[in-house]
A and B are shown apart, each in its own frame.
Chain A
Amino acid sequence: MTGNKVKDTVHMTHDIIHRNDGIPFDAGLLDGIRVNKSAVERRAATIGTRRSVKKEYQAAWLLKAISCIDLTTLSGDDTPGNVLRLCAKARNPIRMDLMEALDIQGMGLTTGAVCVYHNLIPYAVEALKGTNIPVAAVSTGFPAGQIALSEKLREIKMSVAAGAKEIDIVISRALVLKSDWKGLYDEIKACREACGEAHMKTILATGEIPTLTKVAKASMVAMMAGSDFIKTSTGKESVNATLPVTLVMVRMIRQYQELTGYKVGYKPAGGISKAKDALNYLIMMKEELGNDWLRPELFRFGASSLLGDIERQLEHFVTGRYSASYRHPMA
């Protein structure tokens, strides 16, 4: 017998992504799920210590992070005014002189999307006209999801009609807590149908799910039901995206891909505000899922202040001087 030194696949060229159509509910897929928290934490803790990107590599990776940001504002006091500013920032995420210094002017760098509440969709759509930047809207009674399913579906349809190309839904946490996986599947599937052509990101609100095993199961159910992305958090829970939770969710994405061939996207959200954190997430995606997940089609950050820190780091790379936030145009 002989050994084998041939690699199955080389993740250099990106495959075309077929949208996840979901699969019929299969409880058997959930039964085999095992998650060992301590082992997951150990792996997550070494993601950022086993890999490091420096200098021009770091600059390129940070630019990649920008291209994956869902630039977000989700506040009670959002107005057309601040949403317009946000959209302007999404179109021109970093200063022109930095672009020139990095020699990337022609790249058309923008953020991955702009993410707002339903009421602000028209203003964002208007402000992003002429770009490829999609408007994402949070939906289904965001952030708690404590409204009737019929209302959730109506809200999705309204947002799509208003021009949202991406819908970030929240799940009913009660279904997870009660382990009503079929109920969860049905709810998410209904949402997916309501989305139509709009891509759906399913927020699990992992900070309110008591165990990593349930996070894994909820991830799998969300993918079975046809989610285009699975997302950690609304940003409103007390615990938002973490690397251990991310590891659990991306491993489920890998398993789902092995089962079905569908590539499902991943979006950590909440609390990611430092360039270093962003790099760790990108490293985890590369390590666990491969380079396909290092692009906005399959990876997004839900973040509002992350961009500012990345701008400062890029200026440092260009000038060798530590930057100040006032030197960068605000959103």
Chain B
Amino acid sequence: MSVKTIFETMEYGPAPEANKESIAFLERHNRKFQLFINGKWAKPSSGVYFETINPANRAVLAEIAEANEKDVDIAVKAAKKALKPWSEIGGHARARYLYAIARQIQKHSRNFAVLESMDNGKPIRETRDIDIPLVARHFYHHAGWAQLMDTELSEYEPVGVVGQIIPWNFPMMMLAWKIAPALAMGNTVVLKPAEFTSLTALMFAEICKEVGLPDGVVNIITGAGKTGAALVAHPDVAKIAFTGSTDVGKIIRRATAGTGKKISLELGGKSPFIVFEDADLDSVVEGVVDAIWFNQGEVCCAGSRLLVEESIAEKLYKKIKARMDTLRMGDSLDKCIDIGAVVAPIQLETIDALVQKGKDEGNQWWQPYWSCPTDGYFYPPTLFTGVSPSSLIAQEEIFGPVLVAMSFRSHSEAVKLANNTRYGLAASIWTEDINLALDIAPQLKAGSVWINCTNVFDAASGFGGYRESGFGREGGKEGLYEYVKPKANALMTDKAPMTKRQEPKASSNGISMPGIDRTAKMYIGGKQARPDGGNSIIVTDTFGNHIGEVSKGNRKDIRNAVEAAHAGTAWGKMTGHAKAQVLYYLAENLAIRSAEFASRIVECTNVSRAEAEKEVSSSIERIYYYAAFADKYDGDVHHTTQRNVTLAMPERIGVLGIVCPDESPLLGFISTVIPALTMGNNLIVIPSETFPLLATDFYQILETSDVPAGAVNIVTGVKDELTKELAKHYDVDGLWYFGTQEGSKEVELLSADNLKRTWCNYGKYRNWYDHAQGQGREYLRRASEIKNIWIPYGI
């Protein structure tokens, strides 16, 4: 076109990014990629290769090796062999390697950006300005954590060989989020990229070679779901880190149940984007663009549900529609586009099918006037307005450029709509009123809350989900715990600690005045409750002598307890100081009755009086320990790279089940219940089945110590039956289980359905008297999850 014509039309024209270097990389490998195992390129045992394409033009980029079980085994063995020297090389040496990786990525940043854009279909602007800079940043940040591990995580050690499975939407970024913390903390990894987007991971393998990373520390195996499943199943893998769909996340939870493998899951989302009437609406429109038309909407934390205050809804819809017309779509390497291609035909079909359903449901929809390019897999930005929560498109994750909008009447309704989802990955709040923003943020069930911004990330901030968006965090100090384990875990034993038992003296014959019958009831909603089934269980001491009875709780009692826990909202709202006061009061009242509790311990467990008194006094001290922490286990303000305050706030998990250990029945009960309580959770406690009377005695202490109704609910009965009901219950957010190996497995299996946060002991025993095993920040960490709230500022 002539300069003169363009002067009149003022059109943009093509602006292609050069891809010579990336093509050279492909050619260097003859467009056929092997597996990267033990520092070498290895042909797959299967001999099978699959094609990877450029979704923007359907061109085949290369062939990729498909790893089978045998390859997985070889890779895991390589990682296992590398583990000891890598973990023992020390934090400083690991820091040097990670720093070198960061540098090397920066040096080749354009090549990574171009290759990523070609393989995935996402705009070069995004890979160049967002993905790859965040990759380098992640390695720099974690080089620092490697250096600091000895001092900052002195009570922790590496987990071992980590299997990592990453998605296709941010291939390199997800690789960095997985590999950087794993290596920093002294683990070795076997990483499987998504089958649609393996190329940058393979280019990263070259970086590992270039910086001289020891062989086997990073292994990259390519393949599809079967390869991933083999990695998950491998017995030498100590941890699985997965980012992907919620369905696969649940499969991984079930597959690893009872194995003791640590898992972290970063899954799907249907994140709310909430706009209040006092927001800067023009900026909101750009926020929407960043929320749902970033990366073609193929973003797990995409702001895909637009919730708008009714007073401004029509005005905002009009602005968004106008903006949609000015979005540009095209080849991913065009520097003049906003939206690239969808990763694969199958994803295009999924998006289209859901949009069709949305249309069939009668929702109003809008697409821009322009049409999509036809040489690749493109889907136009789409807006549905006036959508109700009962609409399928308001609930299902579409993972495409499709926004569903609905209005709300009040602030409380906004929160209800926002939380009306099984997911809980992220949320965005738009208002110029900081009072409003900071009031709403803690009420949202979401791991990341962005105020007046969206889809912002940084290595210093933790990212991860609530609810079925998964568990675990990536980034920040909170993310490191996914790649370490407490050193104290090694102290746990396969057998219960031995205690000397003494047979009680036989009571004298003859008739005497009977004691007044004391019926141990259950404790639900702040009241003593009789069991629904009307049955009791006989309780005996360790020699089989009948010492009492407790209620035999059933699933209805569990149901009632969960309802009572949800109804008891007072506890979760109390300040740290107020909670501390209640905990100290508990300790005080237990101290007053310490003789009685000691007698009960002797009666139940047949230990010596001295031993029992020690258990009571240890219990009192433990309550003090957590009372002390109640106003001290606080969050962080992260040093993220944007101009904002990033608050990392520990929040209560919610309604938490606690299945108590049998050993040290009072101290075990206190050591598990009190930290969970301290973090503000409402509890359903299943006490030791063998020695339940200490727990039922304890509710009298709860009653007299200002513990609000519903904060602690106690259901006695057959431990594993009740546990099963708790694990199945959808309205229970987390479950701690101290019992058998089989019981642990059952808990993890049944909890997969709503992805409860579980903590199990896999049949191991703790010495509850030992401070390293029986108390600590680890308990508080398990009883909470971190929410990162991003608050940009500036006038």
Q: Which residues of A contact B (CB under 8 A)?
A: 1, 3-8, 12, 34-43, 46, 49-57, 59-61, 63-64, 102-104, 107, 210-213, 251, 282, 286-287, 291, 294
> What number of B residues sit within 8 Å (CB to CB) of A?
53
CB distance from A311 to the nearest CB of B (A): 15
Pairwise interchain contact B3-A60, C-beta atoms closer than 8 A = yes
Chain B 1-43 residues near chain A, CB threshold 8 A: 1-7, 9-15
Bound CA span A102–B3, Å: 7
- The answer to whether B278 touches A63 (Cβ under 8 A) is no
Interface centre among B6, B9, B322 (most CB of A within 10 A): B6
Tell me, in angstroms, the Cα distance from A255 to B172 when the chains sit together: 41
Query: B287 — which chain A residues lie within 8 A by C-beta?
Result: 39
Of all chain A residues, the one with the shortest Cβ separation from B1 is A56
Q: Please name the 10 residue pairs, one residue from A and one from B, whose CB atoms are nearest each other, closest first.
A: A7-B369, A60-B6, A39-B283, A38-B792, A57-B13, A37-B794, A52-B15, A3-B365, A52-B335, A36-B280
- Indicate if the CB atoms of B336 and A53 lie closer than 8 Å: yes
Between-chain CB contacts (< 8 Å), 5 pairs: A7-B325, A35-B280, A36-B283, A57-B6, A103-B2
In the bound complex, do residue B9 and residue A12 qualify as a contact, i.e. CB atoms below 8 Å apart?
Answer: yes
CB pair A34–B280 under 8 Å, yes or no, is yes
Residue of B nearest to A34 (CB): B280
Could you tell me the distance between the alpha carbons of A139 and B697 in the complex, rounded to whole angstroms? 88
Give the CA-CA distance A286 to B6 in the complex, in Å.
14
The answer to whether A39 touches B280 (Cβ under 8 A) is yes
Give every chain B residue within 8 A of A53 (Cβ-Cβ). 12-13, 15, 336
Is A54 in contact with B13, judged by CB distance below 8 angstroms? yes
Cβ of A50 and Cβ of B338 under 8 Å apart? yes
Residues of B near A57 (CB, < 8 A) are 1, 6, 11-13, 15
Cα–Cα, bound, A233→B7 (Å)? 27
Identify which of B7, B369, B795 contacts A211 (C-beta below 8 A): B795
Count chain A CB atoms within 10 A of each CB in B129, B280, B363 and give the residue with the most: B280
The smallest beta-carbon distance between A212 and chain B, in angstroms, is 7
Interfacial chain A residues near B234, Cβ < 8 Å: none
Specify which of B4, B328, B793 lies most central, judged by the most chain A CB atoms within 10 Å of its CB: B4
B13 in complex: contacting residue of A34, A55, A210, CB < 8 Å: A55
Which among B7, B13, B325, B795 is the interface contact of A104 at CB below 8 angstroms? B7
In-complex Cβ contact of A43 among B279, B286, B365, B432 (8 A) = B286
Name the CB-closest residue of A to B327. Answer: A50
Chain A neighbourhood of B335, CB < 8 A: 51-52
Report which B residues bind A (CB closer than 8 A). 1-7, 9-15, 125, 129, 278-284, 286-287, 290, 322, 325-326, 328, 335-338, 359, 362-369, 432, 452-453, 642-644, 792-795
Q: Which residue of B lies closest to A290 (CB)?
A: B326
Q: Which of A5, A61, A64, A210 contacts B795, CB < 8 Å?
A: A210
Determine if B3 and A3 form an interchain contact, defined as CB atoms under 8 angstroms apart.
no
On chain B, the residues within 8 Å of A12 by CB distance are 9
Q: Chain B: which residue is nearest A104 at the CB level?
A: B4
Chain A min CB distance to B536 (Å): 61
**A96 vs B13: C-alpha distance when bound (angstroms):** 26
CA distance A103 to B282 in the complex (A): 40
- In the complex, the answer to whether A3 meets B367 with C-beta atoms within 8 Å is yes
Partner of B4, one of A1, A5, A40, A103: A103
Given A3-B366, A39-B283 in contact, is the A56-B432 Cβ separation under 8 Å?
no
B12 with A41: CB separation less than 8 A: no
The answer to whether B794 touches A54, judged by C-beta atoms less than 8 angstroms apart, is: no
Q: Which residues of A contact B283 (CB under 8 A)?
A: 35-36, 39-40, 43
Name the residue in A56, A63, A251 with the highest tally of chain B Cβ atoms < 10 Å from its Cβ.
A56
Inside 8 A of B794's CB, which chain A residues have their CB? Answer: 37-38, 41
A64 to B322, CA, bound (A): 25
Assess the A1–B364 pair: CB atoms within 8 A.
yes
List of A residues within 8 angstroms of B15 by Cβ: 52-54, 57
Please give me the residue from chain B that is nearest to A317 by CB atom. B3
Which of these, A1, A34, A63, A64, contacts B432 with CB under 8 Å? Answer: A34
Task: State in angstroms the CA–CA spacing of A102 and B284 once bound together.
Answer: 42
Q: Give 4 A-B pairs besides A64-B10, A104-B3 with Cβ atoms closer than 8 angstroms.
A: A1-B364, A34-B281, A38-B793, A53-B13
Main secondary structure of the interface of A (DSSP, over half): helix
Q: Is the CB of A3 within 8 A of B364?
A: yes
Within the complex, the shortest CB–CB distance from B790 to chain A, in Å, comes to: 10
Please determine whether A54 and B14 come into contact, CB atoms closer than 8 angstroms: yes
A6 with B369, Cβ < 8 A, contacts A1-B363, A34-B278, A54-B15 known: yes
Q: A1-B362, A55-B13 are in contact. Are A38 and B795 (CB under 8 A)?
A: no
Residue pair B281, A4 in contact (C-beta under 8 Å): no
Q: A36 touches which one: B6, B9, B129, B432 (CB < 8 A)?
A: B432
Instruction: Report Cα–Cα, A211/B793, bound state, in Å.
Output: 12
How far does the alpha carbon of A285 sit from the alpha carbon of B643 in the complex, in Å?
27
CA distance A37 to B642 in the complex (A): 13
* Highest count of chain A CB atoms <10 Å: which of B3, B4, B336: B3
Residue of A3, A4, A40 ringed by the most chain B CB atoms within 10 A: A3
CA gap between A213 and B280 in the complex, in Å: 10
A1–B361 Cα distance when bound, in Å, is 10
- Residue of A5, A36, A43, A282 most packed against chain B (CB within 10 A): A36
Which partner residue on chain B sits nearest A212 by CB separation? B795
Distance between Cα atoms of A41 and B10 in the complex (Å): 25
Report the minimal beta-carbon distance from A208 to chain B, rounded to whole angstroms: 15
Q: For residue A6, which residues in chain B have a CB less than 8 angstroms away from its CB?
A: 369
Q: Given A3-B359, A56-B2, are A287 and B326 neighbors across the interface (CB < 8 Å)?
A: yes
A56 to B644, CA, bound (A): 41
The verdict on A38 contacting B1 (CB below 8 Å), with A57-B13, A212-B795 known, is no
State in angstroms the CA–CA spacing of A225 and B705 once bound together.
69
In the complex, what distance in Å separates the CA atom of A43 from the CA atom of B326? 14
Complex contacts, B281 vs chain A, CB 8 Å: 34
How many angstroms from the CA of A52 to the CA of B284 in the assembled complex? Answer: 24
- CB-nearest residue of chain A to B364: A1
Q: How far is the CA of A46 from the CA of B765 in the complex (A)?
A: 56
Is B453 within 8 A of A39, CB to CB? yes
A236 and B283 alpha carbons, distance in the complex (Å): 30
Determine the residue in chain A with the shortest Cβ distance to B456.
Answer: A42
> Known: A1-B362, A34-B278, A36-B280. Contact between A51 and B336, CB under 8 A?
yes
Contacts of A8 in B (CB 8 A): 322
B370, closest chain A residue (CB): A7
Within the complex, what minimum Cβ distance (angstroms) separates B325 from chain A? Answer: 6
- With A52-B336, A59-B3 as known contacts, state yes or no: A39 contacts B366, CB within 8 Å: no
Minimum CB–CB distance from B85 to chain A (whole Å) comes to 43
Report chain A residues within 8 Å CB of B3: 56, 59-60, 63, 102-104
* A281 → B minimal CB distance (Å): 13
Chain A residues closer than 8 Å to B11, beta-carbon distance: 57
Instruction: Across the interface, name the chain B residue whose C-beta is closest to A41.
Output: B794
Measured between beta carbons, the chain B residues less than 8 angstroms from A294 are 10
* Chain B contacts for A36, CB-based, 8 A: 279-280, 283, 432, 452, 792
A3-B359, A7-B325, A60-B7 known; A38-B13 Cβ under 8 A: no
Once the chains bind, are B4 and A64 in contact (CB under 8 Å)?
Answer: no
Bound CA–CA A56/B2 (angstroms): 7
Residue in A closest to B5 when the chains form the complex, CB atoms: A60
Assembly CA distance A46 to B1 (angstroms): 27
Do B13 and A107 touch across chains, with their CB atoms under 8 A apart? no
Smallest CB-CB separation from B123: which chain A residue?
A: A50
Contact of B7 among A49, A50, A107 (CB under 8 A): A107
| Chain A, residue nearest B286 (CB) | A43
- Return chain A residues, CB-CB under 8 Å to B280: 34-36, 39-40
Interchain nearest-CB distance for B351 vs A (Å): 15
Query: Known: A5-B369, A102-B3, A107-B7. Contact between A38 and B453, CB under 8 A?
Result: yes
User: Which one of B7, B125, B452 contacts A38 once the chains associate, using CB atoms below 8 Å?
Assistant: B452
B336 contacts A107, C-beta separation under 8 Å: no
**CA gap between A64 and B125 in the complex, in Å:** 25
Q: Give the residue name and chain of the B residue nearest to A33 (CB).
A: B280
A286 to B365, CA, bound (A): 26
Is B10 a contact of A49 with CB atoms below 8 Å?
Answer: no
- CA A291 to CA B12, docked complex, whole Å: 11
Report yes or no: B13 in contact with A56, Cβ–Cβ below 8 A. yes
